[in-house]
Structure 1
């Protein structure tokens, strides 16, 4: 269990960032789901509950999602169920349990860049941008490459286009983390393949995505692309599976995901 010396609930983002920057062990609180499993010692804990950052709405051709929005809200919101074949609700609906998803926030999940994240895998196949208080708005893929630093993830922006997408994963049990997760999307003739829980952070299989985009997506080509994605990416070993197992699983899940997207209407 984490410990803290002080708790504040600032009324503005400016104040929240100022307090965050004051000392190294000052920390933003999300839903505290993963903090509860740590032994972290926090100086001043910053609760963003008073900043009205829990929402999902359509804004000028984008889906805007506030940083304090819970995973349960992602799972149940009508706009997300009706967009991209419901890939975001599908990606989060199996995460541990409803009580847990009611606590975990979008901002904390994405900002922490967890390797096991189901949400990041799904977001990467969409046109997703993150908006940070200090560093501003940028593509999610660029944010994931940045070193960790003091900042606040204010909101996500997802371009609302006619993109078809799906998400698949394998878990040893319903409440466990993914052994491997995969998301695939298609916009016009452009395909994107993402593999996460490798157990490293989710990554785009760029070469395999380009090959699929240029082809006819025949059964033989899909088989070859799935192998290319597994060969292109690296995999590691942990208590949930070996690198060899994950590589073999990648071929299967990528192939299935491509076929699901092909069948989308």
Structure 2
């Protein structure tokens, strides 16, 4: 925060309606502060106004109407350590959350901040897309709920110049659903070079309903529709896992960058695809 030398105003609204109104009135040089990690890591000297969400009580995790509601200022650590995550999708979401970055960073990264920034390497964005999460924003007058996939297809950055993220909603999937996600990093605390998530409904070993998302491609996370179609109505087996791994390696939409080449990214994606299906069979 010390590098934000032009900041002249800091607001601490008491309601989300007030926060959205301030955001609309304050202009382009204003930023919302939930956890503040992004501002600390990437300070923008043009920022003149900060709106802190500390007083809005958006730090919560609760079950409502068959969904898990996660407040925007809830950190990764708080979500990972919550009772709601213990049995959620057989504890696999909890295990993933506990593997992201370092404990220090997990104590700072918020759900709302992750959604708003949509960093290409974000494990949280890949996870939420895979889980078909809904995003709830407030424009100062009303709440608006949108599937995260539709949210990112829209001009969401323009939307967030006049609206505040309130919460993330996760469906409470029944016991027929399986979730797995892998992340490839150079070390335990590094940002991923690739992440790969699968949510699948498996009835009597038949895959009926599936979401597959690839992130850190190195572009932003996206649904992998070809792979979803490949798995639909197939019987879960070691043979299928082998075939699916090859299919993913040959068809995944990745590119190379300074950190890793295209072919290697595709190869890792294929390994992750095979490994996740094999793990599904072990549950």
TM-score of the superposed pair, with normalisation by structure 2: 0.88
Change (3 A) 1:233 1:152: farther
Alignment pair present for 1:182 and 2:190: no
1:66-81 aligned at under 5 Å gives the runs 66-81=71-86
Aligned match of 2:50: 45
| 1:226–1:251 Cα contact (<8 Å) kept | yes
- Residue 228 (structure 1) shift: 2.9
| 2:132–2:149 Cα contact (<8 Å) kept | no
* Aligned mates of 2:220, 2:249 — CA distance in 1: 15
* Aligned mates of 2:72, 2:127 — CA distance in 1: 17
1:84-163 aligned at under 5 Å gives the runs 84-134=89-139, 136-147=144-155, 148-149=157-158, 150=161, 151-162=163-174, 163=177
Structure 2: gaps spanning 5 or more residues: 203-207
Count of residues paired in the alignment: 264
| 1:63–1:159 Cα contact (<8 Å) kept | yes
| 1:122–1:183 Cα contact (<8 Å) kept | yes
- Residue 222 (structure 1) shift: 2.4
Change (3 A) 1:121 1:67: same
Deviation string 1:60-81 (CA, Å, 9 cap, x unpaired) is 1000000010111111112112
Alignment pair present for 1:191 and 2:205: no
The farther-off stretch of 226-235 and 196-205 is 226-235
Deviation string 1:141-172 (CA, Å, 9 cap, x unpaired) is 11121221112111011111222211211110
- Residue 261 (structure 1) shift: 2.1
Which residue of 16, 22, 30 corresponds with 1:26? 30
The farther-off stretch of 193-202 and 237-246 is 237-246
* Aligned mates of 2:87, 2:21 — CA distance in 1: 38
Displaced runs of 4 or more, over 4 A: none
Provide the alpha-carbon RMSD of the alignment.
1.7
| 1:91–1:119 Cα contact (<8 Å) kept | no
Deviation string 1:21-44 (CA, Å, 9 cap, x unpaired) is 121111101211121121303221
- Residue 211 (structure 1) shift: 1.8
* Aligned mates of 1:70, 1:15 — CA distance in 2: 23
- SS of the counterpart of 2:37? coil
Structure 1: gaps spanning 5 or more residues: none
| 1:85–1:166 Cα contact (<8 Å) kept | no
| 2:34–2:73 Cα contact (<8 Å) kept | yes
Aligned match of 2:14: 11
* Aligned mates of 1:153, 1:7 — CA distance in 2: 19
Aligned match of 1:209: 228
* Aligned mates of 2:86, 2:188 — CA distance in 1: 21
